[in-house]
Amino acid sequence: MAVLRTLLVSLVLLAAGLGILTAATDGFRAYTTETARRIRVREHPPLVPPLPLQTAAGGRTSFGELRGRWLLVDFIYTRCMSYCSVQGSEFARLQGPLADPLAAGQVALLSVSFDPTHDDPAALADYQRQHGDHGAVWIAARPVDQADLTALMHAFGVVAVPDGWGGFVHNAAIAVVDPAGRLVAILDWNDARAATRYVMQRLTP
Amino acid sequence: MKHRSGHLCLMGAMLWAVLAIPAVRHVLESTMTLQLLIQVPLLALAGGWLVQGAPGWLDRRLHAWNHRGISGLLLASLTGMVWMLPLAMDAALNDPQVRLAKFLSVPLLIGAPIALSWPRAGFVVRGVVLMELIATMMRLGWLYLISPIRLCSNYLLDDQQRLGKILLVAAFAILLVLVWKLMWGHVDSAHKGTEGINSN
């Protein structure tokens, strides 16, 4: 009897375990937080809160104001010496293939600093200059206070970890926000071509 | 004997409480290595000690559903599988509800069932569990060591690689100890309880 009961319990446990694992991994598609966040965003695009930002020019803008066009967003900190410095160049490079829609105001590039205490407008302007800003619509900006920063990082699923050397390691990516202000895709930070293709396909019907 | 199990139960409860102290938690969760190799095993140990104080009737009642410790070890393995997902580990750091789930499930669904089931498990069941433990440690260790990307958003790549190395070394060490025991015959192949391997 103990054998049969054990078999029964084991089958129930297996079924429950499989169920929990399936739910936790989005049907065995995501094992890391990063993949899970990309799937979740693609399938249920969340609305980005219309929070204000201070730009490199010193002016104000906000995610609410920027609605009505496609946004390519990345999260940065200007002191970064490792791959984020390439991240900036990727954004400068996007200005080439996206020149027309950028000029037409259909698309904007937006770099948001998650280190607002250090990244004042001057530092952000330096960052853009260093990376070869072509003067097209590339906005570098910082959240206006800590609460907004936290809310934005949460909305975009960005996690920055101190690297022990005074800098950060973060899950860099290119986030795509549609004209309705919804976060619709998260793409690899170093794949400017995928980002261009994603936006261009949706601009020309 | 009764006295000793009472002590263990108290120690388990105390260990559990200490691990839940925010300062202790922050230190043990500051690196992937500390979390996986110290915090999680200690949480399981707390559950294992705690259950030593379980009354005899409960043990007997559970035993009727836990032939050779199979259900209990299965429960522990499945729970372990959930917490092995990098996204679960991340969520346990960022989401208070998931953290609570971790602090409850590791002692109660991993440590406690192992403590209740291991003494009842025969040679074959123990062998299967140990081999799978070693294989999992090697798989994970290898993955952590060679993965060029961070599997946990909250931890650094060098931390992940250090954990990978330690897991591989630990897996080989356990394997060596087991081989040693098999060769020099310190293994209870005919279990001293009522359920030797021959009663299969």
Per-residue pLDDT band for B156 (boundaries 50, 70, 90) equals confident
Residues A8 and A68 in one domain: no
What is the number of alpha carbons within 13 Å of residue B68 lying toward its C-beta?
Answer: 21
Residues A67 and A14 in one domain: no
Residue numbers of the domain that contains A197: 45-203
Residues A57 and A145 in one domain: yes
Residues A19 and A67 in one domain: no
Which of A20, A32, A156 is most worth mutating to test chain B (most B CB atoms within 10 A of its CB)? A32
User: B159: nearest CA in chain A?
Assistant: A163
* Chain segment B118-133, per-residue pLDDT in tens: 999 989 999 999 999 9
Number of domains in chain A: 2
pTM above threshold 0.90: no
Picking from A127, A111, A117, the residue whose alpha carbon sits closest to that of residue A173 is A111
Question: What is the DSSP code string of A156-202?
Answer: HT--EEE-SSSSEEE--EEEEE-TTSBEEEEEETT-HHHHHHHHHHH
Question: What is the DSSP code string of A10-49?
Answer: HHHHHHHHHHHHHHHTTTTT--SHHHHHHHHHHHSPPBPP
Instruction: Taking residues B156-168, report their average pLDDT.
Output: 92
Q: So what's the ipTM on this one?
A: 0.81
* Cα–Cα distance list, A68 to A97, A107, A134, A181, B134 (Å): 20, 9, 23, 8, 55
Residues A24 and A73 in one domain: no
CA distance B10 to B126: 28
* Chain segment A64-91, per-residue pLDDT in tens: 999 999 999 999 888 877 666 677 778 8
Give the residue extent of every domain in chain B: 2-187
Does A172 map to a domain? yes
CA angle (B85 as vertex; B82, B90 as ends), nearest 5:
110
Does A38 map to a domain? no
User: A30: nearest CA in chain B?
Assistant: B87
Residues A155 and A92 in one domain: yes
Residues A50 and A98 in one domain: yes
Residues A23 and A78 in one domain: no
**Does position B56 have pLDDT exceeding 90, yes or no?**
no
Residues of A whose CB is below 8 A from B156: 161, 163-164, 169
**Does position A130 have pLDDT exceeding 80, yes or no?**
yes
| Residue type for position A16 | A
Does A37 map to a domain? no
| CATH code of the domain in which A190 resides | 3.40.30.10
Q: At what angle do helices B123-146 and B157-183 cross, to 10 degrees?
A: 150
Does A39 map to a domain? no
**Which three-class secondary structure state does DSSP give residue B149?**
coil
